[in-house]
Amino acid sequence: MQLPIAITSIASISPLGHSSEGLWKKYSDNSHCFEMYDFGKNQAFAAFLPENTKVEIQYLRDSDHKYKFLDKSVLYGIYASRMAVKNAGWKSGDNFGINIGSSRGATDLFEKHHSDFLKTGKVNTLASPVTTLGNISSWVSHDLQSDGPEISHSITCSTALHAMLNGVAWLKAGMAEKFLVGGSEAPLTDFTIAQMKALKIYAFQEQEYPCQALNMNKEKSTMILGEGASVCCLETGERDNALGYIAGIGYATEVLEHNISISTDAICFQKSMAMALKDIDISEVDAIVMHAPGTRVGDLSEMKAIEKVFGDKLPLLTSNKWKIGHTFGASGMLSVELALLMMREQSYVGIPFTDRISQKAKIRKVLVNAVGFGGNAVSILLSISAKAN
């Protein structure tokens, strides 16, 4: 990429909390964030925001009468965006674009409004405007008083990384100098959990690590949902405050054989990774933060794709879903956050129940993968230095 694209800030709220301080320590320990919870008639594992983070979100909701009617996914996006923009030094009224997507959007509010409709035959006045997917970017723009384009979209689990693709495209086209991109998700609802269970991919077994992401020997799928949001600030050129740079982008889709499937060796990932890596020697990639949702087929197909692309030069492999669960549209940016942390700390965050725990001397380039239902794959290559682009 000829024009350096810098990541000057990243912020998140997740089952790990809402503060960047201590985030590395939480990633470095071997604990997970899952608990068993009753979702209506379904009992299931889930990874919720910690109590102190829920308090922060409630403060946000109470801070403006208009926010009382917003879905949690919107509030999560607003909260994370405030932190990211503050850390990047952006000001209210600055001209920057916003693209924050969500896989499911305001699912909690939608379910509540629909339930009320079935009971009463009536619909709340605000039911429609507060349950559209466009809510997140538009409300973030309102909250930050930004002066620039706002984009919303849903590409299921690769939504956040598609937002990053959009931001890069706008910046490289010279249509903007700064872009706020990411994803937000609040999927821990009765109906959503029931849907995931119906797909036969949800974890059900009580064990030390309920989500076995990257365990290629598991006999059953072990996906678990989490909630949260993560956004980052993109700017053109080399920046003194850069956390890292986007060294390559890749994307691909594949022909659908089933509503949720990707091919056995994830052709979409092979294509997206090859595109992201086209300007470098693959031996320069030190680690991959895999999508690896903990499903048997999903983990295996992505691994096969990596083996096709890298051959016997496999980098270190990791994922954060064994710890915080799958956050759907927010998951890709939470993976970017983990990648940036590893580059900052020059240390690899492994998975306690896998054997790939060796440490490279230096971590300078990390590839991040995400894919949505049906094979909408994105791969982003991050570099610690603009000169390596």
What's the CATH code of the domain at 118? 3.40.47.10
pLDDT in the model for residue 231: 98
- pTM metric for this prediction: 0.96
Q: Quick one: average pLDDT of 180-202?
A: 96
pLDDT in the model for residue 308: 96
pLDDT in the model for residue 3: 85
Q: How far from 324 is each of 13, 216, 229, CA to CA, in Å?
A: 11, 19, 12
131 burial (CB, 10 Å; 0-12 / 13-18 / 19+) is buried
Between 115-124, 178-187, 194-203, 380-389, the lowest mean confidence (pLDDT) is in 380-389
To which H or E segment does residue 160 belong? helix 159-172
- Strand ranges for the chain from DSSP E: 5-13, 35-39, 42-46, 97-101, 150-151, 178-185, 228-236, 244-252, 287-289, 316-318, 365-372, 376-383
pLDDT in the model for residue 388: 53
Tally of structural domains, the chain: 1
Q: Quick one: average pLDDT of 55-73?
A: 97
- Non-local (6+) Cβ contacts of 42 within 8 A are 190, 193, 194, 197
What digits encode the pLDDT tens for the residues 227-278? 999 999 999 999 999 999 999 999 999 876 655 567 788 999 999 999 999 9
69 burial (CB, 10 Å; 0-12 / 13-18 / 19+) is middle
**What is the three-class DSSP state of 39?**
strand
Say if residues 127 and 113 touch (Cβ distance below 8 Å): yes
The residue to which tokens 């915080």 are assigned: 324
Domain containing 107 equals: 5-388
More confident residue, 101 or 257: 101
Question: What type of residue sits at position 227?
Answer: E
Q: How far apart (Å, rounded) are the C-alpha atoms in residues 14 and 310?
A: 32
pLDDT in the model for residue 259: 55
Which has the closest alpha carbon to 213: 309, 330, 87, 303?
303
**pLDDT tier at 313, thresholds 50, 70, 90:** confident
Q: How far from 182 is each of 264, 353, 355, CA to CA, in Å?
A: 29, 29, 31
Which has the closest alpha carbon to 345: 123, 113, 50, 26?
26
For residues 238, 241, 245 and 246, what is the CA-based torsion angle, rounded to 10 degrees? -100
What digits encode the pLDDT tens for the residues 331-358? 999 999 999 999 999 999 999 998 655 6
